[in-house]
Copies of this chain bind each other. A is one copy, B any other.
Amino acid sequence: MTEPEPRVLPEATLTRLTQYLRALNAFEAQGTERTSSGVLAKEAGVNPAILRKDLSLLGSYGTRGVGYVVTELAEHINRTLGLTRDWRVAILGAGNLGRALSGYAGFASRGFQVRAILDTSASIIGSDVGDLVVEPISTLGEVIGREQINIAVLAVPGEAAQELIYALAAHGVNSVLSFAPRPLRIPAGMIVRRVDLSTELQILAYHAVQS
């Protein structure tokens, strides 16, 4: 009997799945065909029992004495995470952060194509960022249509972010990763993940004091 696949996986499981995927991709690059839960767990930096439980949530149990076929398991995790879809990213804000994100090698290697970068500043519009040219944010709707953007990354100051959220929703882009350092009002049907880099430093400080 197969366990039913849960409707929504817990956040911690999702994060670990991305770690397993990264490890599996490294194995694929090395030409490794099979792996065990122990080896994979070590490479991903996760407890083997937790790894086995996570993969069983996906319905992937491996085979006793044989383990997991690397490409099959990677494919299975890719499908679970929705990464077999084509994700086309627009970066809003072409300051240092926007530029850093547009060149972030991890995006392309995981199937996220950065197709456009936009800014409001006349001194930046028209300049090159990697293979892209910075376009004016006033042409957001046009760029979304042309490039079939389905994910936006907000790399703008806090005060500019809220208006852009509404503009993205109006143009049908409902998945947003925000680096803006303030909470945003989120229109219904939109998914916004906030990355606050100072949270990471604060948690690091806590552990440093404990140790």
Contacts and interface: CB of A to CB of B under 8 A. Distances in A.
A106 B151 contact: no
A177 B189 CA distance: 33
Interface in A160-211: 174-177, 181, 183, 189, 191, 193, 195-211
Contacts of A100: 95-97, 99-100
Interface stretch (A6-14, A59-67, A132-140, A141-149): A6-14
Interface centre among A87, A191, A198, by most B CB within 10 Å? A198
Nearest to A97: B100
B11 A151 contact: no
B14 A201 contact: no
A45 B110 contact: no
B208 A104 contact: no
A4 interface: no
Contacts of A150: 208
The main secondary structure of chain A at its interface with chain B is helix
A201 B87 contact: yes
Given A100-B97, A183-B43, A106 B198 contact: yes
Contacts of A47: none
Copy tally for this chain in the complex stands at 2
Contacts of A39: none
A197 B104 contact: yes
Nearest to A211: B191
B198 A193 contact: no
Interface of A: 7-9, 11, 14-15, 17-19, 21-22, 43-45, 80-83, 85, 87, 89, 95-97, 99-101, 103-107, 109-110, 112, 150-151, 174-177, 181, 183, 189, 191, 193, 195-211
27 contacts: A9-B206, A11-B203, A14-B203, A15-B203, A18-B199, A18-B203, A19-B199, A81-B205, A83-B205, A85-B205, A96-B96, A96-B99, A97-B97, A100-B100, A104-B198, A106-B181, A106-B197, A106-B198, A107-B198, A107-B201, A151-B201, A177-B200, A177-B204, A191-B207, A193-B204, A195-B195, A195-B197
